[in-house]
Amino acid sequence: MIRKIVQIDEERCNGCGLCVPACAEGAIRIVNGKAILSADNLCDGLGACLGECPQDAIRIIEREADEFDETAVSSHLGKKAPAPSAAGTASPAHDHRAPHHGGCPGSRSVALNPPAVAATTSERQQSQLRQWPVQLHLVPVTAPYFQGADLLISADCIPFAYADFHRDFLEGKVVLIGCPKLDDNCYYQEKLTELFRVANLKSITVLRIEVPCCGGIVTSARQALSVSGKEIPFEEVVITIGGDIKK
């Protein structure tokens, strides 16, 4: 089948290896000092690794390739996973606050350990949402609420992972949400480029989950800002899948 897939320029690649942890599917490895694609069916073609290459040696092309196979990815990642400890409990790599590089939270089974007793408050927190729609696919770039706004671009799982999302991030901002794992990052870049061009934005904050595939939403926003020709203050914030701000 003809589909989008990663292509690595061997001449440009210097073997730094930054693309390896950036690939959530583990499709890239270093062989003889060069990055290579292990197998076509391990690459989802979304390009989360693009923004990690300082040599600009990785790009997305369309060619004949085996279909992306999540079962093959799971098997491939399973071979790399550390074995359980002798006591039968999960190893430290499975702790919910340890780094995870195996995929997005929605596609990898991870058990979290929330507090046994939830914090109580006498007052119900108020929503800080200022506009509808919020989905990047649905929002019109010419909407008046973008003019002079502080823009928050968030991976759509962030509000579930970070309990104080409204108070700490959404207050005073307009918001766009999306999932770089499930959507077309090229579309994200094109739409954000147009938005940045037509809206007089004051700032851009991008919230992403710590897993590498979520970096696609940051890459799309950065590239869109570059192409737009605008100079807008830009901040990236990374949230762990355990619900903390990653320092």
Counting Cβ atoms within 10 Å, is residue 167 exposed (0-12), middle (13-18) or buried (19+)?
exposed
Bridge-partner residues for 34, per DSSP? 31
- The helix or strand, by DSSP H or E, that contains position 199, with its residue range, turns out to be none
Structural domain of 163: 144-239
Mean pLDDT of 82-94: 38
What is the share, in percent, of the chain residues with pLDDT greater than 90?
54
In a domain, 14, yes or no: yes
The verdict on whether omega for the bond into residue 133 sits within 30 degrees of 0, i.e. cis, is yes
pLDDT at 94: 35
3 state SS of 34: strand
Whole-structure pTM value: 0.60
Nearest residue to 47 (alpha-carbon basis) of 247, 230, 219, 221: 219
Q: What does the buried/exposed string (b/e) look like for 114-152 if buried means 16 or more CB atoms within 10 Å of the residue's CB? A: eeeeeeeeeeeeeebeeeeebebeebeeebeebeebbbb
Residue 205 located in a structural domain: yes
User: Residue 97: what pLDDT?
Assistant: 34
Is residue 69, in this structure, part of any structural domain at all?
Answer: no
Residue 84 confidence (pLDDT): 39
**Residue 184, in any domain of the structure:** yes
Residue after which a domain boundary falls, among 64, 84, 112: 64
Q: pLDDT: is 159 or 79 the higher one?
A: 159
Last residue of a domain, one of 21, 38, 64: 64
Q: What is the CATH number of the domain that holds 201?
A: 3.40.1360
